[in-house]
A and B are shown apart, each in its own frame.
Chain A
Amino acid sequence: AQSVTQLGSHVSVSEGALVLLRCNYSSSVPPYLFWYVQYPNQGLQLLLKYTTGATLVKGINGFEAEFKKSETSFHLTKPSAHMSDAAEYFCAVTPSGAGSYQLTFGKGTKLSVIP
């Protein structure tokens, strides 16, 4: 069974500082990887995804993530945090092989941006 680990349930950064949210997966075969953002009392919105090809993926709102197979990681970064980035962020995976295409989510990381 696959699992997703997000290190740090809460991350605080100053406005303008680097954002780094960590995600590691456990799977014998690299899965498809996704980052979603959730604002309070709302559904989830896709930030970016990795399926195949270039391991550095750029998403919306200036976010990007790099798939590192050797480290089984897919960390999310943004060079300069903005107040509007304050939200909950979820890393999710889907198996790349045959089988169910349901998403498995990490526990989430709440990002706070300090003015």
Chain B
Amino acid sequence: GAVVSQHPSWVICKSGTSVKIECRSLDFQATTMFWYRQFPKQSLMLMATSNEGSKATYEQGVEKDKFLINHASLTLSTLTVTSAHPEDSSFYICSVRPGQLMNTEAFFGQGTRLTVV
């Protein structure tokens, strides 16, 4: 199966600063990657779909100016949380789905625990 590497696995930052999270597809080229957010004891909520070479598609209610997504290559997508605030503290997970078919499994990064203090 596909290997997805997410970095960093955890980060603590001060309120008002920006944090960049990287998601790499190590063994296949991903034209699309998905970014999820997971609050404690809750499910994964899709934030946005990252598209290589074009703008990301954001879900309703997700601020695109706050959560900047860049998918500059077929193996790397980045999520930057700008001007982070304590309410942005969460677990962020990226995912790829080889073949871009509805019946294929998705592969997930190990997640990034963001704590804003």
Q: In the complex, which residues of chain A have a beta carbon less than 8 angstroms from the beta carbon of B105?
A: 34, 46, 49
Chain B residues lying within 8 Å of A90, measured Cβ to Cβ, are 43-44
Chain B interface size, under 10 / 10 to 19 / 20 to 34 / 35 or more: 20 to 34
Residues of A within 8 A of B110 (CB): 42-43
Q: Which residues of chain A are within 8 angstroms of B93 by Cβ–Cβ distance?
A: 43-44
Q: Report whether over half of chain A's contact residues are helix, strand or loop; otherwise say mixed.
A: loop
What is the minimal beta-carbon distance from B29 to any residue of chain A, in angstroms?
Answer: 17
- The stretch that binds B, out of A14-22, A72-80, A94-102, is A94-102
Q: Are B102 and A101 in contact (CB under 8 A)?
A: yes
Question: Do B103 and A51 touch across chains, with their CB atoms under 8 A apart?
Answer: yes
Contact with A along B86-103 (1 / 0, CB 8 A): 000001010101001111
Count A interface residues, CB 8 Å: 25
Picked from A43, A45, A46, A95, the residue with its CB within 8 Å of the CB of B102 is A95
Q: Report if A61 contacts B (CB, 8 A).
A: no
- Using known A-B contacts A49-B105, A101-B101, determine if residue A43 contacts B43 with beta carbons closer than 8 Å: no
Output the nearest chain B residue to A107 by Cβ-Cβ distance.
B43
Q: Interface digits, B24-58 against A, CB 8 Å rule (1 contact, 0 not)?
A: 00000000001000000111101001000000000
B78 at interface, CB cutoff 8 A: no
Is A83 engaged at the interface, CB distance under 8 Å to the other chain? no
Task: Supply 10 A–B pairs (Cβ within 8 Å), ascending by A.
Answer: A32-B103, A41-B113, A42-B111, A43-B111, A44-B44, A44-B106, A94-B102, A103-B95, A108-B42, A110-B41
Please provide the 6 A-B residue pairs with the shortest distance between their CB atoms, ordered closest to farther. Answer: A43-B108, A51-B103, A101-B102, A44-B108, A94-B102, A107-B43
